[in-house]
Chains A and B, each alone.
Chain A
Amino acid sequence: GQNIDQPTEMTATEGAIVQINCTYQTSGFNGLFWYQQHAGEAPTFLSYNVLDGLEEKGRFSSFLSRSKGYSYLLLKELQMKDSASYLCAVREAAGNKLTFGGGTRVLVKP
């Protein structure tokens, strides 16, 4: 089984940087996804990490440390439209399941 923890809510100012942490405990790890979900909408894919290190995609970056069971999503130059929930999901090594954390709601203020 898996246990995935994320903060419930974060608030940041437009133009600032926010870091959303995700810690996980799993019997077998085979990759970690980040999804964005605006209120009332479907989740959309942001990033995927399977090896340690930083993956950068424009204003969004994701980092993974497998030895620490830790990932973060970094949102730079925050915009109002970045107000959403951010979901961390871990792929198990055995079996074919994907387990999601509870999600972090980010509120961007002017």
Chain B
Amino acid sequence: EAQVTQNPRYLITVTGKKLTVTCSQNMNHEYMSWYRQDPGLGLRQIYYSMNVEVTDKGDVPEGYKVSRKEKRNFPLILESPSPNQTSLYFCASSLTWGQPQHFGDGTRLSIL
């Protein structure tokens, strides 16, 4: 089954404790992206990747890092999480840039 898989689905953690949210897709998609969704603000793009080893900042990259060492994986790293990063995060992928994106089921992060 074609899918985008995120882990964990839920996480409660504390300020400053590094965490990684994994994202994997099995559709051989070139384009992958991370979004955060907050009430009243909609989906905002954090980082995106056009292909392996090609990543770039979205609209809200501060406090986040990403890597794209393999085509299928695009982890989101929070080196020193802070409470303002409490949010619902979505990973998405598409065959190429400009194609409709497939979204993962989301990861709800709470930073205390």
**Residues of A near any B CB (own CB < 8 A):** 30-31, 33, 41-45, 48, 87, 89, 91, 95-103
A-B interface contact total, Cβ < 8 Å: 48
In the complex, residue of chain A having the shortest beta-carbon distance to the beta carbon of B99: A48
Residues of B within 8 A of A91 (CB): 98
Q: How far is the CB of B83 from chain A (nearest CB, A)?
A: 22
> A99 to B31, alpha carbons, bound, how many Å?
15
B103 and A42 form a contact (CB under 8 A): yes
* Binding site secondary structure of chain B: strand
A87 and B90 form a contact (CB under 8 A): no
CB within 8 Å for A97 and B101 given contacts A42-B106, A87-B43, A102-B41: no
> A66 to B5, alpha carbons, bound, how many Å?
35
Residues of B within 8 A of A102 (CB): 40-42
B58 and A97 form a contact (CB under 8 A): yes
**Residues of B near any A CB (own CB < 8 A):** 31, 33, 35, 40-45, 48, 50, 56, 58-59, 90, 97-98, 100-106
Q: Can you spell out 14 A-B residue pairs with CB atoms less than 8 angstroms apart?
A: A30-B98, A31-B98, A41-B106, A42-B103, A42-B104, A43-B103, A45-B102, A87-B42, A87-B43, A91-B98, A96-B31, A100-B35, A101-B42, A103-B43
> A96 to B58, alpha carbons, bound, how many Å?
9
In the complex, residue of chain A having the shortest beta-carbon distance to the beta carbon of B102: A45
A96 and B48 form a contact (CB under 8 A): yes
Q: How far is the CB of B90 from chain A (nearest CB, A)?
A: 6
Interface residue from B40, B41, B50, B101 paired with A98 (Cβ < 8 Å): B101
Q: How far is the CB of B109 from chain A (nearest CB, A)?
A: 15
